[in-house]
Amino acid sequence: MSQILLEIEGLDKRFGGLHAVKQLSLRVAKGEIVGILGPNGAGKTTFFNLLTQFISPDAGRIEFKGQSLRGLKPHRVVALGIARTFQLCRPFPGLSVLENVLVGSLGPRVHHTDLVERAKHLLEQVGLASKADTAAELLSYGDQRRLEIARALATEPELLLLDEPFAGLGSAEIEAISALIRKLHAEKQLTILLIEHKLREFMQLVSRVIVLDFGEQIADGTPQQVVENPRVIEAYIGKQGTTP
């Protein structure tokens, strides 16, 4: 039986009159690549923010390896083995690419004796070794995406959350990032949660898809099962006979 790494039950969050996440329950097994799918405003990033405790839930249980995450500060969540990227790349300005990765290496999970060599190795993994001394803010958007991933990996995560890693990228860059995600999953045996709107590339990466609509989970299954689900079709293209 697969080890359950993440277990969420009855997760709920409101912002005034907006019910952003509604009684969300799910389990993620160690080694899975799970996609979080849904139209704009479905609650996907809010879910990531709740999971990493950037915002606090109104109700529900969040457990990682059997330990509750509720009430923890975000840096404590990272210390337990969860790292994330963000929709908008925000490298530390004034620091080099290498120094940006070194910042992520300062957490309690990292026990390597030579942090600089380790950071260089991570940059090599994500294809940025030749730009280690470049000011991070001067990177192209695609390379900033790679840097986001390297900074997250620097914390030694067991669970990696990727929030729209293909946003703003061209087809060649998307193909390269997809290959990187597959490589990291295979070599590091990472468990990955992935939010993305580019459906073709998304469906090729994930083994399982959870679909949200207006904060509610409406489907959980393989990519093939999800694309044939009537509720998912309705969420994306509307009911038959209605005008969008």
Per-residue pLDDT tens for 162-219? 999 988 888 888 898 899 899 889 988 899 999 998 888 899 999 999 999 999 999 9
The encoded tokens of residue 219 equal 């489907």
pLDDT score at 161: 97
Is 111 exposed, middle or buried, given 0-12, 13-18 or 19+ CB atoms closer than 10 A?
exposed
CA atoms of 122 and 68, how far apart (whole Å): 30
Look at residue 2 and tell me whether its pLDDT is greater than 80.
no
Distance separating alpha carbons of residues 156 and 154, to the nearest angstrom = 5
Q: Which string of DSSP letters, residue by residue, matches 2-35?
A: PPEEEEEEEEEEEETTEEEEEEEEEEEETT-EEE
**Distance, CA of 229 to CA of 95 (rounded, Å):** 47
What three-state secondary structure class fits 126?
A: helix
Give pLDDT, residue 236. Answer: 79
Task: Please enumerate in sequence order all residues whose Cβ is within 8 A of that of 97, keeping only pairs 6 or more positions apart, or say none.
Answer: 91, 123, 128, 131, 132, 133, 134, 135, 136, 139, 147
pLDDT given at position 118: 95
Assign domain 4-81+157-237 to a CATH class: alpha beta
Rounded-to-integer distance, Cα 83 and Cα 86, Å = 10
* Global confidence as pTM: 0.92
Domain boundaries, the chain: 4-81+157-237, 91-155
Question: Tens digit of pLDDT for each residue in 213-238?
Answer: 999 999 999 999 999 999 999 887 66
Average pLDDT over residues 49-78: 96
Beta bridge pairs of residue 85: none
- State how beta strands 4-15 and 59-64 pair: antiparallel
